A and B are shown apart, each in its own frame.
Chain A
Amino acid sequence: KQEVTQIPAALSVPEGENLVLNCSFTDSAIYNLQWFRQDPGKGLTSLLLIQSSQREQTSGRLNASLDKSSGRSTLYIAASQPGDSATYLCASKSTDSWGKLQFGAGTQVVVTP
């Protein structure tokens, strides 16, 4: 069974610093990997999706990398802002496009002004 782990569980940085969030998964046979943002008491907002054939995806200040062989994905957020404060979740989709999403427990990020 796929297990997804996110380290650290919580992270606090001053505004302007770059953020590095880690996600690891035990089964490298994934279809894709997705990063989400969750604000307190809210649902999920999709940030980036990396297909298994891709190495990275970028959107604005966000960059996500994927290394299937080592079972790792990393989300980089450049020049963090207080508005980036949220919980970031990664999720892997198994086997094919119909597969289930397996979520990590998330990294809670606080960016201080």
Chain B
Amino acid sequence: GAVVSQHPSWVICKSGTSVKIECRSLDFQATTMFWYRQFPKQSLMLMATSNEGSKATYEQGVEKDKFLINHASLTLSTLTVTSAHPEDSSFYICSARALLTVGKTQYFGPGTRLLVL
């Protein structure tokens, strides 16, 4: 149980285009989802927290107009990188928090590697 999937697993795009990444909780309802970014040899950095049906909360320094997050249902959140540039190349990991568990455990997806040329 408690599986989180991401699609696509990797994507290559041209500079200036937009890329959408999906995050799904497969067997549980997730009222909250988190989006992280990880650069090589570095830690996971929280980008934003999204609650189903409301606007996402972005961490300081993360451009909300560039990284659009939609959490339209209890099992799906999407991250759209708009007008992507090479510096946006990174490993993006989502995490879903199951509401009905002790300690509000977060479950992590397998990640999406984005390469912007």
Contact = CB atoms under 8 A, between A and B. Distances in A.
Indicate, yes or no, whether A interacts with B: yes
Interface of A: 4, 9, 32, 36, 41-46, 49, 51, 89, 91, 97-98, 100-101, 103-106
A104 B43 contact: yes
Contacts of B49: 100
Interface of B: 4, 6, 41-46, 49, 91, 93, 102-111, 113
Contacts of B44: 44, 89, 91, 103
Contacts, number: 45
Contacts of B104: 97-98
Given A49-B103, A103-B45, 12 more contacts: A41-B111, A41-B113, A43-B6, A43-B93, A44-B108, A45-B108, A100-B46, A100-B49, A101-B106, A103-B43, A104-B43, A105-B42
A105 B108 contact: no
A42 B111 contact: yes
A21 to B, nearest CB: 14
A83 to B, nearest CB: 18
Contact of B43 (A46, A51, A97, A106): A106
A98 to B, nearest CB: 6
